[in-house]
């Protein structure tokens, strides 16, 4: 029964790959997650049997601006019988026959954002995740069921799982990933190419990432097929960077403390941080009105923040984060509220002033 179920799941996976290929989107996505392991097995890239496959088929979009020409992926998937669903936060999923959930991921960079990323070129929304660079920078095409599918190199796949292990929640996901890594490492050791890859990729990782890998390997008793010298270097770097990190941390907390003290005395009301501006203006309004007057006040604050040079996206994030903390509204209602406030704040006069600021 389970084999038949898996067969049906594989058929849906193949349907999704075919649709992506036919509309010209397959070359712009990387198959990651447990379905990448299926591609390793099916393409013969690794001599192994893939571990547990879940319902989610994760597609990583390395560059949200590509392809340049717009593709109506939603329509193409719906024509193939995929049902389009959306989470309250606005994240899209595509399901076929209740067997597979197709989801999109992108690299989260900078401060990140709560709301899903909009991928205009494909007309879909995607979840932002950190540490995806390891996968994006180390890909390989694999031929499975007649299609060339881009997947992370198996070595990158395993190292990535080791890097993110300590952040994985809930705990069973950590163990599930470790099982997958053990399984894949056995196959990597059998392949001279992949053994070389693991060495090369490991060397190019940041010290922080290497340290995370060493910690995870130590915790679960995993021995990576790396040259011993390389591991010793990581150990040395680990000790050195710990000293630097402690020093930096002390310095940062000192500066933070000074800023907060200054803000408390209102010595620097024109401080440009969006978060500080928001709370300063909020405090002013509450004091003037003996309470919070409502949406109009938020619009006034946003106007002031825009004039102070704060970015729209940043303002939206702060509004959303703060509203999430203080109201019982759903995330989608909050996002809608934030969009509405920003739109109302962007009067022609404000737009004109911002335009002039940008020119300068």
Partner 1 sequence: MAFIYGVLEEEYERLQDKKRDYEEKLKYLPKGALVKKRINGKEYNYLMYRENAKVKTAYIKQDRVDEVRAQLERRKKIENSLSNIKKDMSIIEKVVK
101 vs 317 by CB, closer to partner 1:
101
Select from 3, 65, 172, 265 the one that contacts partner 1 (CB under 8 A). 172
C-alpha to C-alpha distances, 247 to 182, 235, 243, nearest whole angstrom: 37, 19, 6
Considering only the stretches 168-176, 215-223, 260-268, 326-334, report the one whose residues sit in contact with partner 1 under the rule CB under 8 A.
168-176
The tokens for 259 are 């800023």
If binding is defined by CB under 8 A, does position 170 make contact with partner 1?
yes
33 vs 62 by CB, closer to partner 1:
33
C-alpha to C-alpha distances, 273 to 228, 251, 306, 315, 339, nearest whole angstrom: 46, 19, 12, 10, 20
In the complex, what is the shortest distance from the CB of residue 103 to partner 1, in angstroms, rounded to a whole number? Answer: 11
**Three-state DSSP class for 310?**
coil
42: left (phi over 0), alpha (psi -120 to 50) or beta: alpha
In the complex, what is the shortest distance from the CB of residue 129 to partner 1, in angstroms, rounded to a whole number? Answer: 17
The tokens for 45 are 């890239």
β-pair partners for 103? 58
In the complex, what is the shortest distance from the CB of residue 54 to partner 1, in angstroms, rounded to a whole number? Answer: 6
If binding is defined by CB under 8 A, does position 37 make contact with partner 1?
no
If binding is defined by CB under 8 A, does position 91 make contact with partner 1?
no
100 vs 338 by CB, closer to partner 1:
100
The DSSP code sequence of 161-195 is HHHHGGG-SSHHHHHHHHHHHHHHHHHHHH-HHHH
In the complex, what is the shortest distance from the CB of residue 224 to partner 1, in angstroms, rounded to a whole number? Answer: 21
CA atoms within 13 A on the CB side of 340: 8
Tell me the C-alpha distance between 32 and 27, whole Å.
14
Considering only the stretches 23-31, 80-88, 295-303, 325-333, report the one whose residues sit in contact with partner 1 under the rule CB under 8 A.
80-88
Considering only the stretches 79-87, 189-197, 216-224, 288-296, report the one whose residues sit in contact with partner 1 under the rule CB under 8 A.
79-87
95 vs 298 by CB, closer to partner 1:
95
CA-closest candidate to residue 227, choices 249, 196, 187, 253: 196
Select from 22, 27, 72, 83 the one that contacts partner 1 (CB under 8 A). 83
Q: Report CA dihedral (306, 309, 311, 316) to the nearest 10 degrees.
A: -40
In the complex, what is the shortest distance from the CB of residue 38 to partner 1, in angstroms, rounded to a whole number? Answer: 16
Q: Which residues of 233-242 are buried (b: 16+ CB within 10 A; e: fewer)?
A: ebeeeeeebe
- Residue whose token pair is 């203006």: 281
Tell me the C-alpha distance between 307 and 303, whole Å.
6
Considering only the stretches 1-9, 60-68, 190-198, 295-303, report the one whose residues sit in contact with partner 1 under the rule CB under 8 A.
1-9
In the complex, what is the shortest distance from the CB of residue 358 to partner 1, in angstroms, rounded to a whole number? Answer: 43
Q: 94-123 mask for partner 1 (x: CB under 8 A)?
A: -xxxxx-x----------------------
Our measurement of the distance from residue 240's CA atom to the centroid of its chain's CA atoms, rounded to an integer in Å, reads: 29
The DSSP code sequence of 274-290 is HHHHHHHHHHHHHHHHT
If binding is defined by CB under 8 A, does position 1 make contact with partner 1?
yes
Contact 103, 89 (CB under 8 A): no
5 vs 249 by CB, closer to partner 1:
5
| Binders in 45-74 for partner 1, by CB under 8 A | 52, 54-56
Structural Rg of the chain based on CA atoms = 24
70 vs 85 by CB, closer to partner 1:
85
Select from 70, 85, 190, 236 the one that contacts partner 1 (CB under 8 A). 85
Select from 27, 179, 235, 349 the one that contacts partner 1 (CB under 8 A). 179
The binding site for partner 1 (CB under 8 A) comprises: 1-2, 5, 8, 52, 54-56, 81, 83, 85, 95-99, 101, 170-173, 175-176, 179
């Amino acid at each position: 029964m389970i084999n038949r179920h898996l067969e049906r799941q594989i058929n849906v996976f193949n349907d999704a790959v075919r649709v992506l290929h036919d509309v010209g989107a397959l070359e712009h996505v990387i198959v990651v997650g447990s379905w990448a392991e299926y591609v390793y097995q099916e393409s013969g890239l690794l001599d192994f049997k893939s571990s547990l496959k879940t319902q989610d088929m994760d597609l990583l979009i390395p560059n949200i601006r590509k392809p340049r020409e717009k593709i109506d992926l939603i329509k193409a998937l719906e024509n193939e019988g995929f049902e389009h669903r959306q989470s309250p936060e606005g994240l899209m999923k595509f399901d076929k026959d209740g067997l597979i959930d197709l989801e999109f991921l992108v690299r989260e960079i900078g401060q990140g954002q709560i709301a899903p990323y909009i991928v205009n070129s494909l007309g879909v929304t995607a979840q932002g995740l950190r540490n995806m660079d390891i996968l994006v920078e180390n890909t390989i095409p694999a031929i499975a069921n007649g299609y060339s599918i881009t997947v992370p190199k198996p070595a990158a796949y395993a190292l990535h799982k080791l890097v993110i292990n300590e952040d994985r929640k809930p705990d069973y996901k950590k163990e599930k990933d470790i099982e997958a890594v053990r399984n894949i490492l056995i196959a990597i050791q059998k392949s001279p190419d992949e053994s070389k890859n693991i060495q090369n990729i490991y060397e190019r990782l940041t010290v922080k990432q290497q340290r995370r890998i060493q910690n995870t390997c130590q915790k679960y008793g995993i021995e990576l097929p790396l040259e011993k010298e390389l591991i010793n270097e990581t150990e040395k770097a680990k000790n050195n960077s710990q000293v630097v990190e402690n020093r930096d941390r002390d310095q940062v907390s000192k500066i933070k403390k000074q800023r907060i003290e200054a803000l408390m005395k209102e010595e620097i009301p024109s401080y440009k941080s969006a978060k500080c501006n928001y709370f300063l203006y909020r405090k002013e309004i509450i004091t003037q009105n003996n309470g919070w007057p409502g949406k109009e006040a938020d619009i006034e604050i946003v106007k002031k923040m825009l004039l102070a040079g704060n970015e729209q996206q940043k303002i939206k994030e702060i509004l959303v984060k703060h509203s999430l903390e203080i109201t019982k509204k759903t995330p989608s209602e909050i996002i809608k509220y934030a969009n509405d406030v920003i739109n109302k704040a962007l009067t022609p006069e404000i737009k004109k002033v911002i335009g002039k600021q940008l020119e300068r």
